[in-house]
Amino acid sequence: MNPVAWLALEQLLGPLDPADRAVLEPGVDLRTYDPGHAVAWEGHPSRAMYLLMQGCVRFSATRPAGGQEVVGYLRPLTLLGHAAVVAREPYLSTVAAVEPSTCIRISAGLLDSGAPASRRVVLRLRKAAILAMNQQLRAVNARLLTMASPEELVAGMAVDLGAWTLPGPPPEASPGHRTG
């Protein structure tokens, strides 16, 4: 199955016609990650956002006093790296696989495509990124508001940032794009 077909899920871009697919295909591919391997590094230029299809990834960010603090986990069918891509800023955190994980890599360049033929699908891509950010902010807000003690935070802010339900098995990972 072509990774673009996954983007046509209702929770993401919705149905894509051949023209939409033609816009997306050059900027989309599948990548697989072994546990401990990074998908994105905090502070590095954000050249892509990723849709986690299988596995689990952990977000961590640098503490002022040094070291890394876990700031959240993502499960399948959630976007990652999209906040940095939308803001055209470096990645906000380091994202690493905690289980064997498969992601669809979506080139940041797709969001900047201003050609009239691309406009509709680019708007849907931007909208998907915004909805994902909103969902993640709400998840963090809900966690903060229900936390009973600061120790829960001090012990590690393991916010499950939520996910949609995976509708079926993901496609076979392309062996040519293993990253680590």
Q: CA 128 → CA 14, 25, 50, 87, 143, distances in Å?
A: 10, 17, 12, 14, 23
Q: Which residue, 115 or 168, is less far from other proteins as judged by CB?
A: 115
Binding site for other proteins (CB under 8 A): 59-65, 68-69, 71-72, 83-84, 86-87, 89, 92-93, 114, 116, 119-120, 122-123, 126-127, 129-131, 133-134, 136-138, 140-141, 144-150, 153-154, 157, 159
* Residue 71 three-state SS: strand
Of 40, 88, 85, which is closest to residue 60 (Cα–Cα)? 40
Enumerate the β-bridge partners of residue 58. Answer: 73, 96
Q: How far is the CB of 121 from other proteins (least distance, A)?
A: 11
Q: Which CB atom, from 51 or from 84, has the smaller least distance to other proteins?
A: 84
Nearer to other proteins, 26 or 90 (CB): 90
The number of beta carbons lying within 10 Å of the beta carbon of residue 68 is 15
Shortest distance, CB of residue 148 to other proteins, whole angstroms?
7
